[in-house]
Copies of this chain bind each other. A is one copy, B any other.
Amino acid sequence: MKIIVDAFGGDNAPLEIIKGCAMAVEKFDDVEIILTGDEETIEKVASENDISLDRMEIVHAPDVIEMADHPTELMKSKKDSSLAVALRLLADGKGDAMVGAGSTGAMLTGATLIVKRIKGIQRPALAPIMPNASGKFMLIDCGANAECRPEMLVQFAHMGSVYMKNVMGVENPRVGLANIGTEETKGDELRKATYELLKNEPNLNFIGNFEARDIAFEGADVVVADGFTGNIILKTYEGVASMISGKFKSVFKKSVKNKLAAAVMLGDINELKKSLDHNEYGGAPFLGVRKPIFKAHGSSKAVTVCNAIKLTREFVSSDVIGKIAADISGEMSKRDK
């Protein structure tokens, strides 16, 4: 399996990206990597840091897309960027999947324009896997589409279910519609119309409206939202988690006495920290395009990159794309009848 990795995407590129790829190659016998980016720099960084480039191929891309660049520059002034080259290689069938930690906007735009949508999919969606009280859940969409129609949310529900089942190993994933109350009549027009569609949708374990208060706890495996609401949930979630963890950290560091007490619990505190760490799940698949594309967290270190490659490997080998395509075309032919 060949996984294309944008070596120049993310805050810690290229070193941590290359390191993460080397870890993945070491770990998974069936994985080969195509790194895109400035060839000379990649080779220099690898040699300076004693990283083997075994089973890694470099495809030269002299340019880098910056966070400040408009996403569409990918098709114009930045068409020789490491990201644009990676996406074109993917579209041309030179690799089985693509992983990147750079600008989300540019990845989404490039994925849609270069790799293109699965037939029948109205809008691809960004779907991060997030930690909750007792495990993990998928939030779909979380920012690819600020405005959505009910039919799009139904497709998000299907795509999320297929991914959670096949990649994350969740049997019969519970799908909840993010809403401001549990009753069927709750929410705005978009939620009411989506509820009507979801409750009659076959091949979906729809559990109804899911209150935002419950998202942090166990209950739904796939939380469906329009991209605006999903992004608000994601960012409120991350902000509050970071604020409160920070507050506890200050207590632990407040005095010598507290520092000593916290040291006693250090193992348990670190374990807790790890269980709440978004990086543990590697990032977010971008669902609805013709090839597996995985967005790793911008702040990814080598371990996260390696995790992202691990999940992308499952993404490919479980044929999520084929299953989504079958699911959607089945849904379409059913509607046509």
User: Which residues on the B side are within 8 Å of A275 (C-beta)?
Assistant: 247
Q: Which of A143-157 contact B (CB under 8 A)?
A: 143, 146-147
Protomer copies: 2
- Asked if A216 is at the interface of the complex by the 8 Å CB criterion, the answer is yes
Chain A interface category by residue count: 35 or more
Tell me if A's interface is mostly helix, strand, loop or mixed: helix
15 A-B contacts (beta carbon < 8 Å): A132-B243, A133-B246, A146-B180, A188-B228, A212-B231, A213-B238, A215-B239, A216-B240, A216-B242, A216-B243, A229-B229, A232-B236, A240-B240, A260-B264, A262-B265
Known: A188-B147, A237-B240, A241-B240. A251 touches B265 (CB 8 A): yes
- Asked if A298 is at the interface of the complex by the 8 Å CB criterion, the answer is no
- Contact (Cβ within 8 A) B272 A265: no
0/1 interface trace, chain A 126-140, chain B, CB 8 Å (1 if under):
000000110000000
- Asked if A257 is at the interface of the complex by the 8 Å CB criterion, the answer is yes
Q: How far, in angstroms, from A227 to B180 measured CA to CA in the complex?
A: 9
Beyond A217-B239, A236-B237, 20 additional contacts (C-beta under 8 Å) are: A132-B243, A133-B247, A146-B187, A178-B232, A180-B228, A180-B231, A212-B234, A216-B239, A217-B243, A228-B229, A232-B233, A236-B240, A240-B241, A240-B244, A244-B276, A248-B248, A251-B269, A252-B265, A258-B264, A261-B261
Interface residue from B146, B251, B276 paired with A268 (Cβ < 8 Å):
B251
Q: How far, in angstroms, from A220 to B231 measured CA to CA in the complex?
A: 19
Q: How far, in angstroms, from A251 to B245 measured CA to CA in the complex?
A: 13
- Asked if A50 is at the interface of the complex by the 8 Å CB criterion, the answer is no
- Contact (Cβ within 8 A) B243 A245: no
Q: How far, in angstroms, from A242 to B215 measured CA to CA in the complex?
A: 11
